[in-house]
Amino acid sequence: MNRRQTLAALAATTGGAVLSASAPSAAPLAKDPPPFAYALNVSTIRGQNLGFVKELEVASKAGFRHVEIWMNSFQDYLKTHKTADVRKLLGDLGLKVENAIGFAQWIVDDETTRTKGVDQLKQEMDLLAEIGCKRTAAPPMGATNQPGLDLRKAAERYRTILELGDKTGVVPQLELWGGSKNMNKLSEVMFVAIESGHPSARVLLDIYHLYKGGSSPASLPLVGKPGIEVFHLNDYPTNPPRETIVDADRVYPGDGIGPVRETLKQIKTPGKTIVLSLELFNKDYYAQDALVVAKTGLEKMKKVAEGV
- Residue 14 pLDDT greater than 50, yes or no: no
Stretch 163-168: mean pLDDT, rounded? 98
pLDDT, average across residues 86-98: 98
The yes-or-no verdict on residue 35 having pLDDT over 50 is yes
Where is pLDDT greater, at 26 or 126? 126
CB 199 within 8 A of CB 159: no
pLDDT confidence of residue 15: 47
Residue 98 gets which letter from DSSP? E
In this predicted model, what pLDDT tens digit does every residue of 220-261 receive, in sequence order? 999 999 999 999 999 999 999 999 999 999 999 999 999 999
pLDDT tens column, 111-133: 999 999 999 999 999 999 999 99
65-98 burial: b if 16+ Cβ within 10 Å, else e: ebbbbbbebbeebbeeeebeebeebbeebebbbb
Side-chain half-sphere exposure of 246, counting CA atoms within 13 A: 4
User: Mean of the pLDDT values across residues 141-158?
Assistant: 98
| Structure confidence at residue 294 (pLDDT) | 98
pLDDT of 28: 63
Greater pLDDT, 220 or 22: 220
What is the distance between the terminal CA atoms of the chain, rounded to a whole angstrom? 63
Asked whether 153 and 191 are in contact (CB, 8 A), the reply is no
Q: Name the average pLDDT for the chain.
A: 93
Contacts of 147 (CB under 8 A, 6+ apart): 181, 182
Per DSSP, the chain holds a count of helices (H) and strands (E) of: 11, 8
Averaged pLDDT, 86-102: 98
Tens digits of per-residue pLDDT, 45-83? 999 999 999 999 999 999 999 999 999 999 999 999 999
Instruction: Give every strand in the sheet of 66-70, ordered side by side.
Output: 96-101, 66-70, 36-41, 274-278, 230-233, 202-206, 171-175, 135-138
CA distances from 235 to 115, 180, 214 (A): 36, 19, 15
Q: What's the average model confidence in pLDDT over 191-204? A: 98
How much is the average pLDDT of 266-277? Answer: 96
pLDDT of residue 174: 98
How many Å apart are CA 40 and CA 22, to the nearest integer?
Answer: 49
Residue 10 predicted with pLDDT over 70:
no
Taking the CB of residue 301, how many other CB atoms lie within 10 A of it?
Answer: 25
